[in-house]
Each structure stands twice: as C-alpha cells, then as structure tokens.
Amino acid sequence: MIKALAIILLFLHWRGPNAVWGGATLGLIVGIIIAIISKDWNRLLFSFAIGTFIGTFFEWIGRIASKLFHKQG
C-alpha cells in the first residue's frame, strides 16, 4: 500500500524537476546500498517510498511557504 501511494505521488508531481523526484532518487540510491548490504530487496522499495514521502513533504512545504510570503509582500 505504501509503495503504491509513493508511485501515485510521483505521477501527481510529474512535471519538471522537484523535491518529490529528488527524494525518490535519493531513496532509490540509499535503498540499493541497504539492499546489497542486507540482502533484503524489499527494503529497496521501502526506501524508495520513504524518499518519495519526504520529497513530497518538502515540496508541499515550499509551495505553502511561497504562497504565504507572496500574499504578505
């Protein structure tokens, strides 16, 4: 379920480079390293999903902050 939600988030943020894709890429790289060391390839997908969620969080925080600051100025 978590992995499917991560894929949905990637498709929702499809256009242009953003924090979601950066988080997913970093999660994939870290996941490959962890999977090679631990020999548990399920951790690769879990790391990918966690990276995607973290990237989504930072992407949304950035969007909210830019809307808040542009309304005040």
User: Residue ranges per domain, the chain?
Assistant: 18-72
Which among 53, 38, 37 has a CA at the least distance from the CA of 3?
53
| pLDDT at residue number 13 | 84
Reported as a pLDDT band with limits 50, 70 and 90, residue 3 is confident
Instruction: Give the type of residue at 35.
Output: A
Is the pLDDT higher at 67 or at 27? 27
Write the CA distances from 73 to 32, 33, 68, 70, integer angstroms: 44, 45, 9, 5
Supply the mean pLDDT for the chain: 89
* pLDDT given for residue 25 in this prediction: 93
Angstrom distances, CA of residue 26 to CA of 14, 32, 53, 65, 66: 17, 10, 11, 24, 24
Global pTM reads 0.83
Residue in this structure with the two tokens 């990637």, named with its chain if needed: 10
Q: What is the pLDDT of residues 10-39, one digit of tens each?
A: 888 888 889 999 999 999 999 999 999 999
